[in-house]
Structure 1
Amino acid sequence: WTAPVARTDGSPIAMSEIAGFTVRYGTSMGSHPNMLNVDDGYATSATIADLQVGTYYLVVTTRDSEGRESGDSGEVAKAVN
C-alpha cells in the first residue's frame, strides 16, 4: 500500500502523524472479520502468517497518532496457493 497524503476530510496528513495501519481480511468479498495491526507508520506492506489455501479479500485503514482511523481502502483480492 501507499500511505495517504490527505485525511478523509481532504486536509493534509504528514508521515509523522501516521501511527500505523490495520489490514482487515477474510475469504468472502466484502467481509473482513480478521485483522492485523501494523504499528509502523512508515510501513508499506505486511505479512499475514499461516493462511490456508484460498482467495482472501483485504482492505487497509490508516491510524493517526491521535487514534483516529480512516475508512477502508479499496478492496483487493489475493490468491494463496
Structure 2
Amino acid sequence: MNTHLLNVLWVALLVATVLTWLIGKTAHAGPAAVSAILVIAALKGWMIIQDFMGLRRVKLLWRGLVLGWLLVTLAVILIAYWLGLK
C-alpha cells in the first residue's frame, strides 16, 4: 500500500473525527445530528476496513463479512435511537 495514500486517509479520518465531535458538541441530539454522525462513522469504518485492515484486495466474502458487521452495528444503533425517541 502506498504510504502517501495511507497518510492522506489518516488525515481524512482525523478530520472526520473532529467533524463528528463538532456535530455532537454544537448540534442538538436530534435525528439529523445522529444520522450525520452515523454516516461519518460508516465512512470511517469503510476506510479503515478497506485500507488499514488491508481488505481492499481480498475475496468479496471477507470484505462482505466485515462491512456487513459494520452496517449491522450501525443499524442497531440507529434503531435503538429511533425506538428511544418514542
> So what's the TM-score if we normalise by structure 2?
0.24
Q: Which has the larger radius of gyration?
A: 2
> So what's the TM-score if we normalise by structure 1?
0.25
Higher helix share: 2
Higher strand share: 1
**Greater length-normalized contact order (CA 8 Å, ≥ 6 residues apart):** 1
